[in-house]
């Protein structure tokens, strides 16, 4: 019989805060992490608002030996992993090294580092490309560095499905736990708030060009006009239920189900596959729609994509049939880090019995037949949460989380 997958640690590095409780307080208070981008001069760019982790100083957390060989995205992943492991009370050196796995999501790798080295190559010549480019830029850098930092010698994985990646990484973590792993460091971060990273994101046509940080990202609103890009994410410690119980660990919640689907080829006329992902995740968790108390929405922030999501939710849960929230209006979309952070936030919601607010959305488009939680938190006992994510190109993923069983 397969064992349960529980979450015993959370590490958050996000625009809403550095550290899990700082993030959770900001989310419940509706304090936005969106602001004018300050990491570089956005003069000349149509996009000026981003979700930066403003209080993150890498030197406070990592030695210069590590920080020079890694990108900003990995810095945040390493710090989030440190926080998560400490939170879980896991001491890797006391465990079987082959039973410790690292499986993260990454959507765009070491963008800022890569931009700098490409710039050196083309402006100064190949002799100016640094020795760490080969290990900082590629998508596996964060997983590799976490595994080295903590002596984790089990399976290592990196899952890429843009914003859906965090959920798919957690599913991969569950597979590792069903095999030989006891503890998996999972979740993920992303960071591409640098000139070339922003240009590349802008090229998708999906970013908001509204200058007001509080009006730029308004999913499900009549004024929805794109999303705000952010940086950071969350690292989670997934653990076998019996391992967590044996060491008396705190448990935030449990992974009950997951499913991933892919949309039909554009122009095929076939229906999008998000609804099926939700239904399959519920089936995997062996629960019915009425067993779900809250949905953390993907919340693309574009009218067509928002409509597709609200239609899927209304089809599964009935019109206005379940509370829906989108705390990511406070952070922007963090890609692989974003769905990881949604899982972290959902686990905190389950722990405390409070649904976080969707801040800024004041004028919900009536075509969305969903019960969107407004700018105030909703307190009620929560048993199960559904987290939904979609990734650029057609990825859909959904996970069902359960509250920790009371001892």
Partner 1 sequence: MTRRRVVVTGVGVMAPGRAGAAAFWEMITQGRTATRRISLFDPQGLRSQIAAECDFRPARHGLTTDQVQRLDRAVLLALAAAREAVDSSGIDLDALPPEQVGVTMGSAVGCTTGLEEQYVALSDAGRRWLVDAVAPEFLYGHMVPSTIACEVAYQVGAEGPVNLISTGCTSGLDSVGHAVGLIAEGSAEVMVAGASDAPISPITMACFDAIKATSPDNDDPEHASRPFDLTRRGFVMGEGAAVFVLEEYERARARGAVILAEIAGFASRSNAFHMTGLKPDGREMAEAIRVALDRARLNPTDIDYINAHGSGTKQNDRHETAAFKASLGEHAYRTPVSSIKSMVGHSLGAIGSIEIAACVLALTNDVVPPTANLQVSDPQCDLDYVPLQARERKLDAVLTVGSGFGGFQSAMVLAGVS
Q: Which of residues 322-381 bind partner 1 (CB under 8 A)?
A: none
Piece in contact with partner 1 (CB under 8 A), picked from 8-16, 26-34, 50-58, 196-204: 196-204
Are 389 and 164 contacting, i.e. CB atoms less than 8 angstroms apart? yes
131 binds partner 1, rule: CB under 8 A: yes
SS3 at position 78: helix
d(CA 307, CA 367): 7
Number of CB atoms found within 10 A of residue 141's CB: 26
Nearer residue to partner 1 within complex by CB, 76 or 146:
146
Closest alpha carbon to 135 in 191, 71, 65: 71
Nearer residue to partner 1 within complex by CB, 54 or 122:
122
Min dist. Cβ of residue 66 to partner 1 (A): 10
Nearer residue to partner 1 within complex by CB, 58 or 135:
135
Strand partners, 227: 207
**Structural tokens at position 274:** 């998000």
| Number of residues near partner 1 (by CB under 8 A) | 84
Residue in 22, 68, 135, 315 binding partner 1, rule: CB under 8 A: 135
Nearer residue to partner 1 within complex by CB, 318 or 393:
393
Buried b (16+ CB within 10 A) or exposed e, 308-334: bbbbbbbbbbeeebbbbbbbbbbbbbb
Nearer residue to partner 1 within complex by CB, 215 or 276:
276
134 binds partner 1, rule: CB under 8 A: yes
Radius of gyration for the alpha carbons in the chain, expressed in angstroms and rounded:
20
Piece in contact with partner 1 (CB under 8 A), picked from 200-208, 210-218, 285-293, 340-348: 200-208
Are 320 and 359 contacting, i.e. CB atoms less than 8 angstroms apart? no
Piece in contact with partner 1 (CB under 8 A), picked from 30-38, 80-88, 97-105, 353-361: 97-105
Which whole-number Å values give the CA distances from 379 to 20, 23, 103, 293, 356, in the listed order?
A: 20, 18, 33, 11, 9
d(CA 188, CA 231): 11
Piece in contact with partner 1 (CB under 8 A), picked from 78-86, 144-152, 317-325, 380-388: 144-152
Nearer residue to partner 1 within complex by CB, 172 or 243:
172
217 binds partner 1, rule: CB under 8 A: no
Show contacts with partner 1 in window 246-275 (CB under 8 A): 259-266, 270, 273
Are 69 and 105 contacting, i.e. CB atoms less than 8 angstroms apart? no
152 binds partner 1, rule: CB under 8 A: yes
Are 148 and 370 contacting, i.e. CB atoms less than 8 angstroms apart? no
177 binds partner 1, rule: CB under 8 A: no
Residue in 38, 91, 204, 290 binding partner 1, rule: CB under 8 A: 204
Piece in contact with partner 1 (CB under 8 A), picked from 227-235, 343-351, 376-384, 390-398: 390-398
Piece in contact with partner 1 (CB under 8 A), picked from 145-153, 231-239, 320-328, 343-351: 145-153
Alpha helices in 210-335 (DSSP H): 241-246, 274-285, 303-317
Nearer residue to partner 1 within complex by CB, 228 or 364:
228
Piece in contact with partner 1 (CB under 8 A), picked from 77-85, 140-148, 322-330, 371-379: 140-148
Mode of pairing for the β-strands spanning 17-18 and 5-14: antiparallel
**Structural tokens at position 238:** 């997934």
Show contacts with partner 1 in window 294-313 (CB under 8 A): none
Show contacts with partner 1 in window 32-61 (CB under 8 A): 41, 44-45
d(CA 139, CA 134): 11
Looking from the CA of 236 toward its CB, the CA atoms found within 13 Å total 37
Residue in 222, 276, 302, 320 binding partner 1, rule: CB under 8 A: 276
């Amino acid at each position: 019989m397969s064992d349960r997958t529980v979450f015993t640690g959370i590490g958050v590095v996000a625009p809403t805060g550095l550290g899990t409780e700082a993030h959770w307080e900001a989310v419940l208070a509706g304090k936005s992490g969106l602001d004018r981008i300050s990491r570089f001069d956005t003069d000349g760019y149509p996009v000026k608002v981003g979700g930066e982790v403003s209080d993150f100083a890498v030197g406070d957390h990592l030695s210069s030996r590590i920080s020079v060989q890694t990108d900003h995205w990995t810095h945040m992943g390493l710090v989030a992993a440190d926080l998560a492991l400490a939170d879980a009370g896991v001491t890797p050196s006391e465990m079987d090294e082959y039973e410790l796995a690292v499986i993260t999501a990454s959507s765009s790798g070491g963008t800022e580092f890569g931009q700098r080295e490409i710039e050196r190559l083309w402006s100064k010549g190949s002799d100016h490309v640094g020795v760490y480019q080969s290990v900082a830029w590629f998508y596996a850098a964060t997983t590799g560095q976490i595994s080295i930092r903590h002596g984790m010698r089990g399976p290592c994985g990196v899952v890429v499905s843009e914003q859906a990646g965090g959920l798919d990484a957690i599913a991969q973590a569950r597979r590792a736990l069903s095999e030989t792993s006891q503890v998996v460091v999972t979740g993920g971060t992303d960071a591409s708030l640098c000139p070339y990273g922003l240009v590349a994101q802008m090229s998708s046509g999906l970013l908001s060009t509204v200058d007001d940080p509080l009006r730029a990202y308004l999913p499900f609103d009549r004024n929805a006009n794109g999303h705000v890009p952010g940086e950071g994410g969350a690292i989670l410690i997934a653990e076998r239920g019996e391992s967590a119980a044996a060491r008396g660990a705190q448990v935030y919640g449990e992974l009950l189900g997951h499913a991933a689907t892919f949309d039909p080829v554009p122009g095929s006329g076939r229906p999008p596959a998000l609804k099926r992902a939700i239904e399959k995740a519920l089936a995997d968790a062996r629960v019915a729609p009425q067993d779900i108390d809250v949905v953390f929405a993907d919340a693309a922030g574009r009218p067509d994509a928002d409509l597709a999501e609200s239609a899927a939710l209304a089809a599964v849960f009935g019109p206005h049939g379940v509370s829906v929230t989108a705390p990511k209006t406070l952070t922007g979309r963090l890609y692989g880090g974003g769905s990881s952070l949604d899982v972290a936030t959902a686990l905190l919601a389950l722990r405390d019995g409070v649904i976080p607010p969707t801040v800024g959305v004041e004028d919900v488009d009536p075509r969305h037949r969903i019960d969107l939680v407004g700018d105030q938190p909703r307190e009620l006992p929560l048993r199960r949460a559904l987290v939904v994510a979609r990734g650029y190109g057609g990825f859909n993923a959904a996970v069902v989380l359960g509250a920790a069983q009371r001892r």
